[in-house]
Structure 1
Amino acid sequence: DKDAAKDSDEKAAEEATTEKVIAEDRSEPTLVNSMEKDVLGEIANISMGSAATTLSALVGKKVDITTPKVSVSTIEEIKEKYSDAYFILKVNYKKGLEGANIMILHTYDVGIIVDLMMGGDGTNPPAELNDIHLSAVSEAMSQMMGTSSTSVSQLVNKRIEIFSPIFKVSTFDDDELFEQDDEKVVFIRFQLEIADLVDSEMIQILPIPFAKAIVNEIMNINMSNLTEMSPAANTEATPAAASAPSKKGKSAPPAPEVQPVPAPAAAAAIPTDPVVAKATPGSTGPGKNIEIAPVQFPDLSASGNTKNDLPNIDLIMDIALQLSVELGRTNKKIKDILELTNGSIIELDKLAGEPVDILINGKLLAHGEVVVIDENFGVRVTGIISPEERVKSLR
């Protein structure tokens, strides 16, 4: 009986161990493997490169966000290592991706960024961040996340939209940021450098499902590209095999010679009659000719800008376009914007009496001068931009 009881206990222990191993195997796919870490690191490197460019334009200093280090950790482990208060920004995705990611900066680094944005030299950061400081750095981070999302959108080949970011100065003990301490997340550390003022780190935290979803998007695109390339390779290989001469048969006849067509001197001198090239028997059949239509290009000069020169223009005649008149522009620092009050004067880059710009859907169309018509402002067109200049402005 003792032996039977011992055997029963050993069998129960083996079954429990087996169930534990099976449970661990089932939970293993929720973790991030080394290949996925490499993909996430590359995505982070590209997206934060765009974000660094945006921040550099806002602070007027060289900004580098490099060397992403990807790891998997729990919230509890992060809390033990990072116990101070940080500037935390949470971004929720509206379209394209489901989930959220969290960006974290040291409050001292945020103070330097705020000082630079307010017109300072970065050597006198505020001791405490007030609402104005937080609003300024939140706007900077929002623009950074916008450009970062654009980079990710190009990588996954789909439109991505984000909600307005949520920001606060808090610790990792904030219950609103994380659901439970044992939750495993992707932990990415970046090296943040702003000129000779900041040499610190910036942290990004991604939930495991969100991180794996981004990796899957990238992998699916790569697989689809390989699938599309395979038929093309087979198609290219077929003519090559067909053109190879048989060892037993006769050699293939030489390719037919086509007389070269002299290039026209100008667009107006292009012949209207089609050029006919004789084909040798065996290529397209006896007695058949190949008609080659001449190439014609539209005239972009101002003289060709008539309604008759634009085919099917009537199809879009009822489309509404936004017309606006721009008096001038100027650039102001955030410090100057915050100091604006009633009665403040903003100087534009246009002189008095200088023609104003007439824009159609934001594109320059013409120049004009401001007039008053029955107590309303109007604009008299003094010059229209030529089609050539309009095309150049789009490049």
Structure 2
Amino acid sequence: MALSQEQINAILEGTGTYDGDGDELSAPEHDFFMAFSGIAMESGSVAVSQALGKTVTVSHPEVSASNGADLKQELGGSQILIKTGYNTDREYESLLLIKDYDVAVIFDILMGKDGRNPDLEIGDLQISAIGEVMNQLVGAAATALSKEFEIKVAMIPPDSQPLLPEGNLPPAYQSGALLQVHYQLVIEGVLDSEIYEVRTLESARQLYRTLTGQVSPAATAPPPGPIAQAAAPPKQAAQAMPQPAVRTAEFAPLAPALSAAGGHNIDRVMDIPLRVTVELGATRLKVKNVLDLSKGSIVELDKLA
């Protein structure tokens, strides 16, 4: 159910003082997160639609208090977990939980297919791809929330990974009360599924108080301590350090060349970052650069092992 601007304003103006307690949501908290979730996902849906080239809606939020055991039972099946959230005066982490099958469908669409018969094997490429899609969603949501609440809201960059073995949530979410939001995920003509968003109830209440003005973001920041005068490093020692020779990475052309149709499809995931690890160190390459690697290619490492 979409909330009108008048309803949103009424919720924000009627929150009064904080009255939540224990493991249950107060009525103002519930109404606030209904409005908050609707604003965030309405903008996020537009961003994902643009990324996939199909109409995507993440809607109908259902807000409730829960716990790790109940949520684990409710989820069922394999899930991909995306750690993300928002940053105002501090970081307010949340988890997005998406079914493996839905990730496979989204990846299939990113590859230029129709999503109706996806490859169900989930690997690093699929996990990286859903992380990039969620980056678009959460980034757009943060922008919308900034405008609505007139406070700087930044995105915590998404970190995607499979759910822990046996469906367990990360340790911070296994005990204690949680705030969960259940959304309907619809990709037009392809998928009708669901997404869960989860926060610890403590973090959710801190976010609630900050965005409703009950806690000033500036007031929660610790005062700066005295700045110690750091001793200047010896110049001679710095000059004596040998400077490693650095060469720009050169990528040999891939043979045979991709067809026009294949190139169009693979372009959709060219900018997804992949982690490449070798014995001497590590670096981070885009998919298009990985595909260009061949015998004799030179890769510049970020740091030595």
Does the CA contact (< 8 Å) of 1:85 and 1:171 recur in 2? no
TM superposition shift of 1:97: 3.8
SS at match of 1:28: coil
Alignment of 1:76-155 (within 5 A): 76-155=69-148
Does the CA contact (< 8 Å) of 1:122 and 1:197 recur in 2? yes
Change (3 A) 1:339 1:167: closer
Does the CA contact (< 8 Å) of 1:155 and 1:218 recur in 2? no
The whole-number CA distance in structure 2 between the counterparts of 1:201 and 1:220 is 32
Does the CA contact (< 8 Å) of 2:130 and 2:160 recur in 1? no
Does the CA contact (< 8 Å) of 2:178 and 2:198 recur in 1? yes
* 1:40 alignment partner in structure 2: 33
Change (3 A) 1:211 1:180: closer
Gaps of 5+ in 2: 1-18, 215-262, 271-286, 294-305
CA offsets 1:59-92 (integer angstroms, 9 cap, x no match): 1111111110001011111112223220110115
TM-score (norm 1): 0.48
Alignment of 1:1-395 (within 5 A): 28-29=21-22, 31-171=24-164, 177-179=170-172, 181-220=174-213, 335-336=266-267, 337=270, 338=287
* 1:249 alignment partner in structure 2: none
The whole-number CA distance in structure 2 between the counterparts of 1:333 and 1:155 is 37
* 2:279 alignment partner in structure 1: none
4+ residue runs of structure 1 moved beyond 6 angstroms? Answer: none
CA offsets 1:132-167 (integer angstroms, 9 cap, x no match): 222112111111111112222223322222332221
CA offsets 1:3-47 (integer angstroms, 9 cap, x no match): xxxxxxxxxxxxxxxxxxxxxxx9935632122111101110110
Q: Report the number of matched residues.
A: 210
Gaps of 5+ in 1: 1-25, 222-331, 344-395
TM-score (norm 2): 0.61
The whole-number CA distance in structure 2 between the counterparts of 1:170 and 1:37 is 27
SS at match of 1:179: helix
Change (3 A) 1:127 1:44: same
- Bigger-Rg structure (1/2): 1
SS at match of 1:168: strand
Higher RCO (CA-CA < 8 Å; seq separation 6+): 2
The whole-number CA distance in structure 2 between the counterparts of 1:182 and 1:138 is 26
* 1:261 alignment partner in structure 2: none
The 10-residue stretch of structure 1 (165-174 or 46-55) with the greater mean CA deviation from structure 2 = 165-174
Change (3 A) 1:32 1:106: same
TM superposition shift of 1:333: 5.2
SS at match of 1:43: helix
The whole-number CA distance in structure 2 between the counterparts of 1:128 and 1:44 is 31
SS at match of 1:120: coil
The whole-number CA distance in structure 2 between the counterparts of 1:220 and 1:27 is 15
Does the CA contact (< 8 Å) of 2:58 and 2:185 recur in 1? yes
